[in-house]
Amino acid sequence: MSSASCLRERLREDQPLILDGGLGTELEAEEPRAEGDMLWSARFLFSNPDLIKEMHDRFIISGADIITTATYQASIPGFVSHLGLSVGDSRKLLMSGVYLAKEAAEKRSDLSKKSAFVAGSVGPYGAHLANGSEYKGTYAARLTVERLKDFHRPHIECLVDAGADVIAFETIPSIKECQALVEVLREFPSSEAWMSFSCGDHKTIADGSLFTDAVQMACRSKQLLAVGVNCCPPDVVEPLLDAAQSLLPPEMTWVAYPNKWDAWDTKLGVCVCPTGGCCFVRPADIAWLRQHLKGDDAKCEPNDCPTTESTS
């Protein structure tokens, strides 16, 4: 059975799958100069790929069942512009994000007989702009669906060709961009994905559209395994998912990975699988989440595990 098929089967089980945490912010903590970089964490594919593998390894040790590639802010135009690479070399660099994650997963599998799945990260067009516009989505008004499809197509193609187990459409701020991703995904009929939205509050995604309308658009795709939210405050997760619960087809599930939490009720009233963390969520936080959701042991960095008092 292929890794993608195994992932599909695991999602159907009555046990949560644990995502990793904030890979970009974890890399940034090691190399603060990445903050404000036009390529953000994707630059490390070029400058320090070994550090990316080390971060993947930390999250796997801490209990992540799924790790995401360092390709959120990657793009072929970005690599050409900011690294001076050719289009061909830019494609190879983007694909290397999958290879690095797979190497980390296989290394840990050899040691523990348990392998993590690899999700190929696709950020929104706004991530390429590197101006925070993925948290507003205003750029979508001036772009056509076809233009957005043209932008995302090479990125998805690289991740698929490199063998990602699933594609992660992350921090999507507008229904128009969701539509573009749903449509372009059809060009890769053997691939599956999840769609997670950037949300502004308990009811809307970043561009002000209702989350329920965004979910309806996402659910037009037969290739989506999950839909949900990421890069948001933890307290908006349950209200958003609860409001759209009736719209979720039985073959799909929710995905949620909010930003760093001081307190997060992991006993949500809706079933969320996979679940994990986004910005500033560290390996120790993932170990804590796994313990609370699955009850099995995961390792934390020394003196870095959240205490019961600080997280409950």
Percent of the chain with pLDDT over 90: 66
Q: Where do the domains of the chain lie, and which CATH numbers do they carry?
A: 3-311 (3.20.20.330)
Helix (H) or strand (E) holding 274: strand 272-275
> Could you tell me which of 71, 62, 81 has the C-alpha nearest to residue 124?
71
Omega of the bond prior to 189 within 30 degrees of 0, cis?
no
pLDDT in tens, 280-294: 788 988 998 888 887
pLDDT classification of 118: cutoffs 50, 70, 90:
very high
Amino acid at 292: H
pLDDT in tens, 216-271: 999 999 999 999 999 999 999 999 999 999 999 999 999 999 987 655 455 544 45
Structure tokens at 48: 């320090």
Q: Write down the pTM of the prediction.
A: 0.89
pLDDT in tens, 133-142: 889 999 999 9
Q: How far apart (Å, rounded) are the C-alpha atoms in residues 166 and 118?
A: 7
- For residue 131, pLDDT over 60 is answered with yes
Size (the chain), residues:
312
